[in-house]
Amino acid sequence: MINRNNLFVLCFLYVFALFAQAPPGYDLWLTYSKIVEPDISKKYSDISTSIAFLGNSKTLNIAQSELHTATEKMLGQTPTFFKAFESNHSMVIGTKNLLDPSLNKVLTKDLEQIGNEGFIIKSVLSQKKTTLVITANEDIGILYGVYRLLALMQQRKNLDNIALVDSPKIDIRMLNHWDNLDRSVERGYAGFSLWKWHKLPEFIDQRYIDYARANASIGINAVSLTNVNANALILTPMYLEKVKALADVFRPYGIKVYLTARFSAPIEIGGLQTADPLNEKVKVWWADKTDEIYKLIPDFGGFLVKANSEGQPGPQNYERNHVDGANMLAEALQPHNGNVIWRAFVYSEHDADDRAKQAYSEFVPYDGKFMDNVLVQTKNGAIDFQPREPFHPMFGATPKTPLMMEFQITQEYLGFSTHLVFLPKLYEEVLDSDTYQEGDGSTVAKVIDGSLQGQKITGMAGVTNIGNDINWTGHPIAQGNWYGFGRLAWDPYLSSENIAEEWLRLTFSNDDAFVKPMKELLIMSREAVVNYMNPLGLHHIFDTGHHYGPGPWVSELSRPEWNPVYYHNADENGIGFDRTPTGSNATEQYAEPLRSQLNDPQTCPEEYLLWFHHLPWDYKLKNGKTLWNGIALKYQEGVNQVEKMVSTWETMKPYVNKAQHKEVQMLLQIQLKEAKWWRDACLLYFQTFSKKELPEGVEKPTQTLEYFKSLKFPFAPGIRPRWN
Ligand code: GCV
């Protein structure tokens, strides 16, 4: 009977349950919402009611508890776990050495293919009974397998005759945090850094665990904790204790920790007079420092280094080169199986050559000279994470050196965490590009996964968009970029459409009336941002420093290649950067037949036209329009696409949590305002050169060019702090 007292208790429990739930967005794609379709729910319940979960380890315990939580939430049923397999169990989970010999035999061939991190999910007929088996060679494979099974269930996939054998195609699947020790994040738009250095090592924030869980669920197995514009303090004993605490949290989730190594650390924290990589004392200092780290963190991943780039110190300060610097660190790491990830993002104010050519010119001659445990991390394009760039010409051009892909997940040049842009579409475009370095079909994906040129170690890094915002990424939809990066790092051949669909189903709703239009919206969102910011191959016309909003007029910065005018070259004759043999000849860095294709404006893909060519305003585009009209119409198309996104989102109310729907709705309104700002500011500015009217269909600007030029944003987020 309900009396006043237990009514109070019931109310309390109800309110507690409400608040015990994570706030909307916090659960990312691990929502495990209830499966309401009775037939599907019944099938899944039958499979997961009695589970033989073999073995014991921290990693396996995580897998088991994930399965427990997820099935409870999705099916409203608590599975019973057993530590030994009997024929009445509906599911068996265990590494190969723990499986029943008869099962093991059936799966041997598959097990041989999947390496240390792969898994098998297979419906196996054994002793006249079907059992769902999840197996792997190592515990981490079991964890990945469990996450995949749960993702399939969330998407209501048919598991009846499942035979899934999967393993990652890339070894190091890594997030790069550009997080500073004061918890500011360079190019971070989702709050402060997750790492509470001040409270570590004693205080383990629940967020560290939830972060590791999210990463493991998509196969991310490495994180670099600190900004590449590095602070040497991270290598001091006080900070290393804190790093160890994080590494201990991440280890059972299969995640290795890397640190950024400031090249001048031997001077700054080691008391040496020099950081010359060939100096014996410097070598010993790094070797000792590395030993010290491995004593604390036996599975430490290694160092990520930005050297002689944008003011960071490096071997060139001592008349040495990148090989000298990287190999010196590689020697220190080699005894511990650690890696050096050396960044190729270099360009110099002392080099008058086109910035787009400099990394290739510097690094390609070093091919074959790096030690085996060095990977050269190369941004997807030769300039800097623009809304669209042709692939970096280094891909495929260093057959003896593993190139690690660097994508940016944080949206430095894509509207910060305000604009909805689904980045897997961008990543896919790069990965699918044919480098022709080893003949037709030499795609960037094949370079990165080592299958084209036989690299022994491979990697893909994403500069994260993660901060301490409740929803992790600032924009609710930007979670899909973290998710999509992880999926592509696991398998660079996945299609962005499939990733979009998966993520939408996992995160929001399985209803096709939601998934179909939203998938279209996500896929279109990338082209929209290109159109309203940088159409037809325009690039780097962002306002200075913070890169928020348009600044094509900026021309007075100390280094020529920091000025937008350097990139668009607009004048009365036309617009664009001539990178053909009549200009900087950057096209020579691409293999044939691509080089010739790019050299000719008639065969150069129009999306890269002004990247490679300076063309007159009345140049005729493929659609018969003049270049000026074409540019103007593209800007307008971008705005129209955002308008379409706004109206599609309006119809999504029934499928999305109210608070999140409102958030995205408000953000889309800002995006629309800013898309118009980009269109009007750029067209008014370029019009001063073209001296032509806006074509029909393009809305008239409501402000003057002077107004747009006068806008200043001294506190735009994500700017590099003064100390580094
Ligand atoms: C971490 C660009 C960004 C910088 C970043 C740099 C890099 O220049 O604007 O903030 O520095 O790339 O990738 O090293």
Q: Where in the chain is the domain with CATH 3.20.20.80?
A: 172-507
pLDDT for the residue 14: 44
Spatial contact of 365 and 358, defined as CB atoms under 8 Å apart: no
How many residues would you count in the chain? Answer: 724
Poorest-pLDDT segment among 119-133, 196-210, 540-554, 583-597: 119-133
Given the residues 210, 248, 268, 310, select the one marked as catalytic: 310
- Nearest ligand 1 atom to the CA of 718 is 10
Spatial contact of 589 and 393, defined as CB atoms under 8 Å apart: yes
Evaluate: CB of 187 within 6 angstroms of ligand 1: yes
Mean pLDDT of 139-155: 98
Residue 590's identity, in one-letter code, is Y
CB count within 10 Å of CB 295 equals 11
Distance, CA of 360 to chain centre? 23
Mean pLDDT of 614-626: 98
Backbone angles phi, psi at 626, to 5 degrees: -75, 160
- The CA–CA distances, whole Å, from 542 to 533, 546, 551, 559, 564 equal 9, 8, 5, 15, 7
Round to the nearest angstrom and report the end-to-end CA distance of the chain: 67
Evaluate: CB of 186 within 6 angstroms of ligand 1: yes
What DSSP assignment string belongs to 473-494?
Answer: SSSGGGHHHHHHHHHHHH-TT-
Judged against a pLDDT cut of 90, whether residue 416 lies above it is answered with: yes
Contacts of residues 288-296 at CB distance under 8 Å and 24 or more positions apart, as own/partner, are: 289/235, 289/265, 289/332, 290/332, 290/333, 290/336, 290/338, 291/336, 292/237, 292/240, 293/235, 293/240, 293/243, 293/259, 294/336, 294/338, 296/240, 296/241, 296/243, 296/244, 296/247
Q: Please choose, from the candidates 326, 346, 347, the residue with its C-alpha nearest in 3D space to the C-alpha of residue 338.
A: 326
pLDDT for the residue 642: 99
> In sequence order, what are the beta bridge partners of 571?
574
As a whole number of angstroms, the distance between CA 218 and CA 144 comes to 8
pLDDT for the residue 451: 98
* Centroid of ligand 1 to alpha carbon of 412 (angstroms): 9
In this structure, the dihedral spanned by the alpha carbons of residues 661, 667, 669 and 670, taken in order and rounded to 10 degrees, is 170
Poorest-pLDDT segment among 434-443, 556-565, 572-581: 556-565
218-241 per-position pLDDT tens digit: 999 999 999 999 999 999 999 999
Residue 358's identity, in one-letter code, is Q
Best residue for ligand 1 mutational test, from 179, 187, 306, 540 (most atoms within 8 Å of Cβ): 187
Residue 351's identity, in one-letter code, is D
88-102 per-position pLDDT tens digit: 899 999 999 999 888
As a whole number of angstroms, the distance between CA 642 and CA 676 comes to 10
Q: What is the mean pLDDT of the chain?
A: 95
Range list of β-strands (E), 433-568: 459-463
- The CA–CA distances, whole Å, from 312 to 228, 273, 308, 496, 719 equal 9, 17, 5, 35, 16
What's the number of CA atoms in the CB half-sphere (13 Å) around residue 420? 31
Judged against a pLDDT cut of 80, whether residue 17 lies above it is answered with: no
Give the pLDDT band (50/70/90) at residue 350: confident
CATH class given for the domain over 21-166: alpha beta
Q: Where is pLDDT greater, at 601 or 18? A: 601
Q: Please choose, from the candidates 344, 365, 366, the residue with its C-alpha nearest in 3D space to the C-alpha of residue 355.
A: 344
As a whole number of angstroms, the distance between CA 217 and CA 467 comes to 19
Evaluate: CB of 388 within 6 angstroms of ligand 1: no
Evaluate: CB of 384 within 6 angstroms of ligand 1: yes
CATH architecture label of 531-577+614-710: Alpha-Beta Complex (3.90)
Given the residues 276, 354, 384, 561, select the one marked as catalytic: 384
* Centroid of ligand 1 to alpha carbon of 309 (angstroms): 9
- Nearest ligand 1 atom to the CA of 227 is 1
315-341 per-position pLDDT tens digit: 999 999 999 999 999 999 999 999 999
- Nearest ligand 1 atom to the CA of 309 is 14
Mean pLDDT of 441-450: 98
* Centroid of ligand 1 to alpha carbon of 547 (angstroms): 11
Give the pLDDT band (50/70/90) at residue 11: very low
Evaluate: CB of 140 within 6 angstroms of ligand 1: no
Q: Where in the chain is the domain with CATH 3.90.1330.10?
A: 531-577+614-710
Evaluate: CB of 720 within 6 angstroms of ligand 1: yes
Cβ contacts of 86 within 8 Å, gap of 6 or more: 52
- Nearest ligand 1 atom to the CA of 379 is 13
As a whole number of angstroms, the distance between CA 6 and CA 8 comes to 5
Strand duo 574-575 + 615-616: pairing = antiparallel
pLDDT for the residue 12: 43
Task: Give the position of tokens 């169990």.
Answer: 89
Catalytic residue flag (residue 440): no
Judged against a pLDDT cut of 70, whether residue 167 lies above it is answered with: yes
Q: What percent of the chain has pLDDT over 70?
A: 97
As a whole number of angstroms, the distance between CA 686 and CA 705 comes to 10
Spatial contact of 678 and 635, defined as CB atoms under 8 Å apart: yes
CB count within 10 Å of CB 707 equals 13
Best residue for ligand 1 mutational test, from 310, 409, 540 (most atoms within 8 Å of Cβ): 310
Task: Give the position of tokens 């910065």.
Answer: 557
As a whole number of angstroms, the distance between CA 671 and CA 664 comes to 10
What DSSP assignment string belongs to 614-635?
Answer: -EETTPBPTTS-BHHHHHHHHH
Spatial contact of 135 and 175, defined as CB atoms under 8 Å apart: no
Tokens of 379: 């941004």
Task: Give the position of tokens 């200009």.
Answer: 583
Residue 531's identity, in one-letter code, is N
Evaluate: CB of 406 within 6 angstroms of ligand 1: no
Given the residues 171, 412, 578, 674, select the one marked as catalytic: 412
CB count within 10 Å of CB 1 equals 3
* Centroid of ligand 1 to alpha carbon of 545 (angstroms): 10
Distance, CA of 266 to chain centre? 31
As a whole number of angstroms, the distance between CA 681 and CA 538 comes to 14
* Centroid of ligand 1 to alpha carbon of 85 (angstroms): 53
Tokens of 305: 């280094």
Atom 7 of ligand 1: nearest residue by CA position: 345
pLDDT for the residue 301: 98
Catalytic residue flag (residue 592): no
Judged against a pLDDT cut of 60, whether residue 723 lies above it is answered with: no
Judged against a pLDDT cut of 80, whether residue 722 lies above it is answered with: no
Backbone angles phi, psi at 50, to 5 degrees: -135, 110
Residue 711's identity, in one-letter code, is L
Tokens of 451: 């299958």
Judged against a pLDDT cut of 70, whether residue 8 lies above it is answered with: no
Judged against a pLDDT cut of 70, whether residue 622 lies above it is answered with: yes
**What value does the CA radius of gyration of the chain take, rounded to a whole number of Å?**
27
For the domain spanning 172-507, the CATH number is 3.20.20.80
Q: Where is pLDDT greater, at 128 or 343? A: 343
Tokens of 517: 């239009």
Quick one: CA dihedral 75, 77, 78, 79, positive or negative?
negative
Mean pLDDT of 151-169: 97
Catalytic residue flag (residue 588): no
pLDDT for the residue 10: 44
374-401 per-position pLDDT tens digit: 999 999 999 999 999 999 999 999 999 9
